[in-house]
Amino acid sequence: MQYTPMASKPKVVVTRKLPEAVEARLRRDYEPVFNPDDHVYSTDELIALADGADALLPCHSEHLDAGAIARLPASVKAIANFSVGVDHVDLDAAKARGIIVTNTPDVLSDATAEIALLLMLGAARRAAEGDRLVRTGEWRLWSPAFMVGRQITGKVLGIVGMGRVGQVTARRARGFDMQVHYHNRRRLPAEAEQGAEFHERLDSLLGACDVLSLHCPATAESHHLINAETIARLRPGLILVNTARGALVDDEALLEALRAGHVAAAGLDVFNGEPAIHPGYRELDNTFLLPHIGSATRETRDAMGFRALDNLDAVFAAREPGDRVA
């Protein structure tokens, strides 16, 4: 159902630069407050901009913890996130204030799964190292022993978090004849598993796979899921892929394993403290690093924006938003 504009358009604070088509729809239906230079707002800036606003449209780059939410003006009725993950918002604090919180699921599953495969291949085949050799003119020879990487075809892929993105990643990986194993809070129905092997315990999965891909949300329970203890249980020579959240990984533990070769390579699109990532990752040849671009396709970013606006449309039409998380 298309949103019918109110006589007085709701004021929406848009924290980052959005696709042109999304901003056009915002101008049509709302009174948007845009961020023309696309900088990351401090909490104080965001609170000041929210004065008199009816809603916020933030990204994962804004941290709306309990303190920030407590300072929001009473006029704010909704936080419509331009993201699937909502670990940057204190949902309990929002609920306590009666603020509706939504996200944008489904629409970025394909794009993020593509990046997971790119990271997998890039890490396995030493793509970053090879690209650097060509660009710097250091490529001097070819020999059978030169730039030998690892093959993923026919290997066992372990997926932690078999939600929307995890399931699409599994389907794409089957194109490489990979055997899919997974750990999830609950086992999927057989039609969704498509032959994947379920591991009720994470420990069971860790030692069974050649590639481990993280697709679970960042929560208190999953914080530093990949740590010294869990890394010790991994099959030696494993390739680790993370397109979910940096908080899933203990950087020091992973870097130690990469230096020792226990983890052969890592393909990472997300990091703790990004963009100020741990410098150790830059120093290693066996890392393939991307700047959090899992959803960065034109099609997906448009779809995310429209999904966020669909949720806002519902809120201001007194309907239940389809993607409510608080």
- The residues annotated as belonging to the active site are 245, 274, 292
Do residues 90 and 65 touch, judged by C-beta distance below 8 A? yes
> Identity (one letter) of the amino acid at 71?
R
The token pair that represents 63 in the structure block: 């941290």
Do residues 42 and 15 lie in contact, with contact meaning Cβ atoms separated by under 8 Å?
no
The residues near 137 (Cβ < 8 Å, ≥ 6 apart) are: none
Q: How far is CA 24 from CA 7, 31, 79, 163, 302, in A?
A: 19, 11, 19, 32, 11
Alpha helices in the chain (DSSP H): 20-29, 43-49, 66-71, 91-96, 109-124, 127-136, 164-174, 190-193, 202-206, 228-232, 251-260, 298-316
Say what the alpha-carbon torsion angle 278, 280, 281, 285 is, to the nearest 10 degrees: 170
Q: What angle do CA 236, 240, 241 make, to 5 degrees?
A: 165
